Amino acid sequence: MEFSDRVAVITGGGSGIGRAVAAAMARRNVAAVALVDMNEAIDDVAAELNAAAGRAFAVPFRGNVTDEGFRRSVFDVIGAQHGPVSLCVPAAGITRDDLAVRIDKDTGRARIYPLEQFRLVVDVNLIAPVYWALEMIGRIAEARAANGLKRWSADEGIQGAVVFIGSISSQGNRGQISYASTKAGLEGAAATIMKEAMFHGVRCSVIHPGFTDTPMVRAMGADYVARNILPFTQLGRLIQPDEIADAICFMLANAAVSGELWVDAGWHAPA
């Protein structure tokens, strides 16, 4: 699939992997990208990306990715301005790390992971990405139905593609009961969407990045990264967002790629 004339939606586009994917798409001549983020700096980020690309391709949208009305409005606006969306990378995500069960030293009582935190992480990391993808797939399906088209055939060419952002934590990681659960959940969601969405000509896959040099990972602290992450990677460094972005663009563009891709720099959890 060529990126030229394609319109994309990227959530979490204000920093980290999302921003890097937008820049990588620009280098591949994507027509337009809806750059979605809660951060008020998203306007500046879009302006910087446009300046670097030498053209206005990034359109900023500020809002909460869990808001259904906001999601629909992004697709409505970018579609009216640039055409239907056919690439989706729902990269927005959060962590609320803590042990699943912790004993209070003063009372001796067990404190379990807060339910409201778990629900928040599920809403942002699992439900929202799935529904941003389904929004695109639904609109492609509607357009095909309006044109009298039913089951997609290969001679039509790929109609769209989704890449979910999983994580090496989907295999389990101490202190990440909510985050790991959502990333494992994306595997099941993607496997189901893969089976259904090809009826409409839309591909779906999952990338599992290792520890990447993003604000989320840097928030762990340099000492933590040096002690608990770098010694257990083959590269001995954090993965760069551009490296993940290149892999995502490969997954979007190459129609033979399906399922899951692990981009983990050889990281293995310590015993």
Q: What is the CATH number of the domain that holds 204?
A: 3.40.50.720
| Rounded distance between C-alpha atoms, residue 258 and residue 251, angstroms | 8
Instruction: Output the six-digit token pair for 60.
Output: 């900023």
Is it the case that residue 268 has pLDDT exceeding 80?
no
Is 1 inside any structural domain?
no
DSSP, res 229: T
Q: 217: pLDDT confidence band, cut at 50, 70 and 90? A: confident
Tokens, residue 185: 């959940």
Band the pLDDT of 225: cuts 50, 70, 90: confident
Whether residue 2 is contained in a domain is answered as no
What angle is formed at CA 38 by the lines to CA 178 and CA 177, rounded to 5 degrees?
5
Q: Is 45 domain-assigned?
A: yes
Range of the domain at 51: 7-263
* Within-domain flag for 269: no
In a domain, 241, yes or no: yes
Number of domains in the chain: 1
What is the pLDDT confidence band of residue 271, given thresholds at 50, 70 and 90? low
Residue 269 has pLDDT above 80, yes or no: no
pLDDT band at 270 (very low <50, low <70, confident <90, very high): low
Residue 223 has pLDDT above 70, yes or no: yes
Domain-located, residue 270: no
Q: Look at residue 71 in the predicted model and tell me its pLDDT.
A: 98
> Is residue 74's pLDDT more than 80?
yes
User: Is residue 187 scored above 70 in pLDDT?
Assistant: yes
Residue 150: count other Cβ atoms within 10 Å of its Cβ: 9
Assess if residue 271 is contained within a domain: no
Q: What is the pLDDT of residues 78-126, one digit of tens each?
A: 999 999 999 999 999 998 989 999 999 999 999 999 999 999 999 999 9
For residue 235, being part of any structural domain is answered with: yes
